[in-house]
A = this chain, B = another copy of it.
Amino acid sequence: MDGCTSKLEAKHYKSDVTPIWCPGCGHFGIQAAVNRAFAELQLDPAKVVVVSGIGCSSRIPAYTTCYGFHGLHGRALPLAIGLKLARPDLTVLVAGGDGDGFSIGGNHFLHACRRNVDLTYVVMDNEVYGMTKGQPSPTTAPDWDSDLQPGGTGISAFRPLGVALQSGANFIARGFSGDLNGLTKLIVQGIKHPGFSFIHALSPCVTFRPEEREWKTLTHASGEAITSDFQEASRRIAADDGLTTGPLYAADRRAYAPPVAPLRDTKTNLSHIQAEFRL
C-alpha cells in the first residue's frame, strides 16, 4: 500500500508467507474471507491485530499484512482480551481451531463470552485436530474412528453456539469456508458489532476428514432473520443440525470497558500515593 488515499483491497491484507496448509484445506477460504472483510471495512493493517493459538488454523496471523500474535495452544482469547483492554484503539480479531478454542481453550471461551470485550472470534472448525494428525476434537461426532480412539470417543459433541449463548456472547453466527461471500459478511458484522462476537466457521480438513468436502452440499442458510431474543435464539440452537449458516443472534449488551484506560504515561506524579505511607 502506498499512502492512505488508495482503496485497500483484499490482496493488500495477504502477506508473502506461504501457508503450510494442504491443498484444498478449508482454512484458505477463511483466510480469504477475513481479508475481504478487512478490505470491506477499509481497516488500516497497522491498526489490526490478528491473534491466534496453535493449530493449522492458528497459523493465519502471519498470512496477513496486519500485526499478529501466534501464541499458545488454546490461549488466544485471554491474550487478545489483555491487548484490547490495553489498546482499545486497535481492531482485534481472534482466530483458531476447534481443538484450540473448545478443548484446551474452553474455559477462556466461556469467560470471554461473559466478559464481552469488543473482539471478534472466528473458530475454524474442522471437527478434528489437523496439526497433530487426526485426533478427535470436542466437535467430532462420537462415533468417528481414529488411531487414538478406535471406534470413536463415545462422547456427545460440544455445542459451540449453545454454550456461547448461555455464556453471554453478544453476537453469534455460523459460516462456511466454502461460502466466501456469506462468511465475509458475517465477519464484517462481527467486527462492527460491539462486544464479543463469535463466528463459528465450518472449515473442512481434507486430509484427516475428507468426508467434510461434503459440507459444500450439506450446509444450508438459515433463512431466518437475526434475532436479539435470547429465548428465540435458544430455541433455534436447540433445533439446529450443526450445518445451518447465517447470522443467529445479536444482543445489545454494552461492550466491557475498564473503569480507566491505561495512560501509558510513566511520568505520572505519584506523590499522592507517597503521602499515604508517610508517617
Contact = CB atoms under 8 A, between A and B. Distances in A.
Interface of A: 103-107, 110-111, 114-116, 138, 151, 154-159, 162-163, 165-168, 230-231, 234-235, 238, 253, 256, 259
B107 A155 contact: no
A123 to B, nearest CB: 15
A162 B154 CA distance: 23
A107 B115 CA distance: 16
A166 B162 contact: yes
A231 B256 CA distance: 30
Contacts of A234: 234-235, 238
17 contacts: A103-B111, A105-B107, A106-B107, A110-B110, A111-B138, A114-B138, A114-B155, A116-B156, A151-B259, A154-B256, A154-B259, A155-B256, A156-B168, A162-B166, A165-B166, A234-B234, A234-B235
How many copies the complex holds: the figure is 2
Nearest to A151: B259
Of A103, A115, A238, most buried by chain B (CB within 10 Å of CB) is: A238
A220 B156 CA distance: 33
A189 B270 CA distance: 59
Of A103, A115, A116, A162, most buried by chain B (CB within 10 Å of CB) is: A162
A151 B165 CA distance: 26
A103 B110 CA distance: 9
A158 B167 contact: yes
B116 A155 contact: yes
A198 to B, nearest CB: 14
